Structure 1
Amino acid sequence: MKLIKKILTIAGSDCSGGAGIQADIKTITAHKMYAMSAITALTAQNTTGVYGIMEATPEFVEKQLECIFTDICPDAVKIGMVSSGEIINVIVKKLREYKAENIVIDPVMVATSGSKLLSDQAMEKLITCLLPLGTLITPNIPEAEVLCGFKIKSEQDMVRAAKKISEKINVGILIKGGHLVDNATDLFYKNGYIEWFKLEKIDNPNTHGTGCTLSSAIACNLAQGISISESIKNAKEYLTGALRAGLDLGKGSGPLEHTYKLKNW
């Protein structure tokens, strides 16, 4: 009988398939691992924007997690969109109850427009209760600014931000530099250790779901017992390949080619 690594994604659904649960499942499958999902919300969205959100009840999120952990226990967990404090409470409760490991949290807090996606109460729960459970958190520049409390305009600011965030949340931190004007360099920080990840910046406007894809790929690597640093490196290489493949779908910022490594039939 064949055994493979199992990855759980806890996030919102993207009906257009480019981000959220759908991007996570594609990424996990491309890594030849078994994908499971607990859906926190349904969204009506496509490459041009988000047009509606229907949140799951905390009770139903809890039931999904119980079904997963009591039957096919995951080797790693990726967490994305969690839109309420009540849902966050349930996730924290179950992660602790089942002693989940290799937790990668993509803190979806700020929309591309700059507006906050979480209430102040949910934001507080996220920062004080959920993020500290992570093996690694992967904020982009706007999200890191919310966590550190100041603007980030340079690589020096990224280091300052990582240090500030680690004072509140003592976990591995990957600040993604894609929002900086002059580069897309990412910074990994943990307990004073600093490592920069600098890969070529792909000229591709279709970037829908890049954050979901990266965090899921990192979770897949961690599930295999690979170090955080090497997991980030491998995941960034996978993401770069998915961007370089040049998929072009939709009228807005389109999705990635998650299956670029698989055989073409």
Structure 2
Amino acid sequence: MRRILTIAGSDSSGGAGIQGDLRVITLLGAFGASVITALTAQTAGEVCAVEPVPAALVARQLEAVFADGPVNAIKTGMLARADTVRAVAAAVRGARVPTLVLDPVMRSTSGTRLLAEDAMQPLCTELLPLARVVTPNLAEAAELTGSGVRDVEGMERAARRLHEMGAASVLVTGGHLDGDPLDVLFDSGKCTLLAGRQTHRLGAHGSGCAHSSALATFLAMGMSVLAAASEAQRLVALAIGALPPSAGMATPLAAQDWCTRSEERAGVLAALRSAMDDLSRAKLGWLVPEVRTNLGYALPQARTRAEVAAFPGRITALAGRHVAVSPPAFGASRHIASVILAAMAHDRRSRAAMNIRSSPDILGACSSAGLRIAQFDRDDEPEPVRRHEGSSLDWGTRVALRRAGEVPDAICDRGAFGKEPMIRVLGQDPAEVIGKVRTIATCIKAPREEDLT
């Protein structure tokens, strides 16, 4: 399980700060550790009092967290004072954590100052250069760069300037823009616009904390910065859209509104574990492709990869059996999740998929078993799709579905230069997928016993 550390203030209302961060991290399937930088007395709409935690105690908390084991990502929020910023920067440098998401919290939604004026200098010179991603809103970007940020052009200028100041990537969030929200991501030397959709946003207390916590968790799961930023934007938009009309009253952002009920998540994971046991007993390891395999299963209303569970590290073959490297977890697979989400867009019941090796014999076995097969050819892939990392499978699956006019039993990916040919078996749940895989296996001669070891 990925371990995510949030370094932030305590929010007595429970909607933001440490409390909001830990809720999001946990609901995304990671383990949350915390370091508290300040105690606050606040409601969902007003900060009533702030008491910073001494920097020495912040440093001791950090030492204790790192002594417990590796941390996969850190997210910082309210840091309050200059000496706390310096203590955090020193600890991050020493721990060499691969991912730091810096959410430069300066003021509360109600306007209360949460970062001392003299903390700006160490924030910019000591902590910001350590960040894999910094996530300012419009006001924070303006204060960090010293220039006005009121539109997309200003967001792009600010993103480039913050990169020049040391951040590896910059995500300027545009939730306060007029019209539909738009985030600007500067990553790999270019700006990308991430368009959102207008939702009921009044009083969405904790949206910034939820966004940066989700971003850190997605990055720890191995997503690219672009993919993680897109997923985080989507999840927070869903959460805000689920808020009831507040008639001017601030409302804590309930992360549960965008994470389907925990019972459903537990059911998805249990179904994957059961199917994996069945698959292992079947001794079908010869169907594992060179790139290994994965088995995924989505929540009923899944819209993002974070709502699709699969096996981290994929599934390999050992002594002729399928063996999972790790237990199933949500957000664990980019590839199989893309296939499942594309299939669900065509038929919401098609929530599971698994990739197996492709060969003429295996394709023939699919036909002999009476399975419906669709296919796509990567040579037909449009240039924009080729340039957009991680979009090939979504495109190919949608092409195959469109040609078939339905969700088939399997989709044949013919592969390309550097891309192994693959068959992806689809179904309504993992048990159905494994049943189809076993049917394919019965229609083809299995390899010799010595080939299984």
Please give the TM-score of this superposition, normalised by the length of structure 1: 0.93
Mean alpha-carbon deviation: is it higher for 208-217 or for 181-190? 181-190
Q: Is 2:260 the partner of 1:262?
A: yes
Cα deviation, residue 119, structure 1: 2.9
Task: List per-residue Cα deviations over 1:136-164 (Å, max 9, x = no partner).
Answer: 00000000001221112211111122222
CA distance in 1, matches of 2:246, 2:199: 17
Tell me the secondary structure at the aligned position of residue 238 of structure 2: helix
Paired position in structure 2 for 1:100: 97
Q: What amino acid sits opposite 1:101 in the alignment?
A: P
CA distance in 1, matches of 2:137, 2:167: 18
Taking the TM superposition and a 5 Å limit, the aligned residue runs for 1:1-265 are 4-112=1-109, 116-246=113-243, 252-260=249-257, 261-263=259-261
Cα deviation, residue 67, structure 1: 0.8
Cα deviation, residue 236, structure 1: 1.2
Please give the TM-score of this superposition, normalised by the length of structure 2: 0.55
CA distance in 2, matches of 1:204, 1:219: 23
Tell me the secondary structure at the aligned position of residue 178 of structure 1: coil
Q: What amino acid sits opposite 2:135 in the alignment?
A: T
CA contact (8 A) 2:128 2:165 kept: no
CA distance in 2, matches of 1:77, 1:188: 19
Q: Number of matched residues?
A: 262
Task: Say which one has the larger Rg.
Answer: 2
Mean alpha-carbon deviation: is it higher for 85-94 or for 248-257? 248-257
Instruction: Identify if the C-alpha distance between structure 1 residues 184 and 64 changes in structure 2 by more than 3 Å, giving closer, same or farther.
Output: same
Tell me the secondary structure at the aligned position of residue 208 of structure 2: helix
Which ranges in structure 2 are unaligned for 5 or more consecutive residues?
Answer: 264-453
CA contact (8 A) 2:179 2:198 kept: no
Mean alpha-carbon deviation: is it higher for 201-210 or for 110-119? 110-119
Q: What amino acid sits opposite 2:117 in the alignment?
A: D
CA distance in 2, matches of 1:249, 1:62: 39
Tell me the secondary structure at the aligned position of residue 179 of structure 1: coil
CA distance in 1, matches of 2:246, 2:152: 33
CA distance in 1, matches of 2:146, 2:87: 27
Q: What amino acid sits opposite 1:132 in the alignment?
A: P
Mean alpha-carbon deviation: is it higher for 105-114 or for 89-98? 105-114
CA distance in 2, matches of 1:247, 1:256: 11
Cα deviation, residue 70, structure 1: 1.0
CA contact (8 A) 1:105 1:134 kept: yes
Mean alpha-carbon deviation: is it higher for 165-174 or for 89-98? 165-174
Q: What amino acid sits opposite 2:76 in the alignment?
A: I
Q: What amino acid sits opposite 2:85 in the alignment?
A: I
Mean alpha-carbon deviation: is it higher for 5-14 or for 109-118? 109-118
Q: What amino acid sits opposite 1:199 in the alignment?
A: G
Task: List per-residue Cα deviations over 1:183-207 (Å, max 9, x = no partner).
Answer: 3100001353111111212124231
Q: What amino acid sits opposite 1:257 in the alignment?
A: A
CA contact (8 A) 2:200 2:243 kept: no
Q: What amino acid sits opposite 1:263 in the alignment?
A: R
CA contact (8 A) 1:10 1:21 kept: yes
CA distance in 2, matches of 1:36, 1:57: 19
Which ranges in structure 1 are unaligned for 5 or more consecutive residues?
Answer: none
CA distance in 1, matches of 2:178, 2:110: 16
CA contact (8 A) 1:247 1:255 kept: no
CA RMSD for the aligned pairs?
A: 1.9
Cα deviation, residue 110, structure 1: 3.5
Instruction: Identify if the C-alpha distance between structure 1 residues 170 and 257 changes in structure 2 by more than 3 Å, giving closer, same or farther.
Output: closer
Percent pairwise identity: 35
